[in-house]
């Protein structure tokens, strides 16, 4: 059985809607907590999913585990081993590839569609065209050298990029469900309170409208990407 490891930064930001399709595709799932667990053996995992979190990749003085974590991602990408990065995970991928990651100067929190590039429309994220995704970040990054730009929004140019077939970085979230987000509203209460114009009631109402559609589209994205890794045809 193939081994998929999700690298977690806070307990409530997990695989959520992506867990079932990964298991259905034959992956044995496991979590590692980046701040406290040994990451040494993850270089050989069949798949690494790097999840989100409320810290910045440049805060390595306060969070020294970010150094080894970034090195792990850099090694896997250099060896063409599959890495999927979501939000903080995408920022870590950008840093691992030598790009600058920095504070955007604003919080982009809430549901909204992304604008796909021409390459994005030909990529595994094509299923997200017109589908509201969840944005939840205050940092952004420059496009790494050699990466393919896949998507943007009006406020954030670099929302997604690909590195060959093996690396997919998404600044936004495709894994969240309406139920799972109830944990986020508690865990991120201070960030929500500090973000201008962001309210839990509106986030919850939008999740009720959009999360189910994102689950379907997100599964399609995941399966299309995995199909590109193993040469099989994605199930639509």
* Res 231: pLDDT: 59
Total-model pTM: 0.96
Which helix (H) or strand (E) segment holds residue 111: the answer is strand 101-112
Is pLDDT of 126 > 80?
yes
Average pLDDT, the chain: 96
Cα–Cα distance between 39 and 51 in angstroms, integer? 14
Evaluate whether residue 235 is within a structural domain.
no
Q: How far is CA 123 from CA 44, 127, 163, in A?
A: 25, 9, 11
Strand partners, 83: 48, 167
- From start to end of 87-224, where are the E strands? 101-112, 115-116, 133-141, 148-152, 160-163, 167-170
190 vs 207: CA distance, rounded Å: 19
173 has a pLDDT exceeding 90: yes
**Domain contains 14:** yes
Number of domains in the chain: 1
- Quick one: which of 68, 59, 144 has its CA closest to 102? 59
pLDDT above 80 (res 119): yes
130 pLDDT band, cuts 50/70/90, is very high
pLDDT value, residue 236: 37
- Domain span holding position 70: 2-230
User: What count of residues does the chain have?
Assistant: 236
Tokens, residue 92: 């870590």
Give the separation between CA 89 and CA 105, rounded to whole angstroms.
19
Residue of 180, 162, 182 lying closest to 170 (CA atoms): 162
Is residue 22 a part of any domain in this protein?
yes
Percentage, residues of the chain above pLDDT 70? 97
Q: What is the pLDDT averaged over residues 103-128?
A: 97
Integer angstrom CA distances of residue 215 from 180, 197, 202: 12, 26, 19
Split at pLDDT 50, 70, 90, the class of 230 is: confident
Does the residue 236 lie in any domain?
A: no
CATH number (domain holding residue 127):
3.40.50.880
């Amino acid at each position: 059985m193939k081994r998929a490891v999700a690298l977690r930064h806070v307990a409530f930001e997990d695989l959520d809607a992506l867990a079932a399709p990964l298991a259905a595709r034959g992956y044995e799932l496991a979590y590692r907590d980046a701040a406290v667990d040994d990451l040494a053996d993850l270089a050989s995992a069949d798949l690494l999913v790097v999840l989100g979190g409320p810290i910045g990749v440049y805060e390595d003085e306060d969070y020294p585990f970010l150094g080894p974590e970034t090195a792990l991602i850099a090694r896997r990408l250099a060896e063409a081993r599959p890495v999927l990065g979501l939000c903080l995970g995408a920022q870590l991928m950008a840093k691992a590839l030598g790009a600058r990651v920095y504070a955007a100067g604003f919080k982009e929190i809430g549901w909204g569609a992304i604008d796909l590039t021409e390459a994005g429309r030909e990529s595994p994220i094509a299923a997200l065209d017109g589908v509201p995704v969840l944005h939840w970040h205050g940092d952004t990054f420059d496009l790494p050298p050699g990466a393919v730009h896949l998507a943007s929004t009006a406020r954030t140019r670099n929302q997604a990029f690909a590195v060959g077939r093996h690396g997919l970085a998404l600044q936004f979230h495709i894994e969240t469900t309406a139920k799972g987000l109830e944990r986020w509203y508690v865990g991120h209460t201070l960030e929500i309170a500090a973000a201008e114009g962001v309210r839990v009631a509106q986030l919850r109402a939008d999740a009720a409208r959009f999360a189910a559609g994102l689950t379907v589209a997100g599964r399609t994205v995941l399966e299309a990407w995995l199909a590109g890794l193993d040469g099989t045809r994605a199930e639509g």
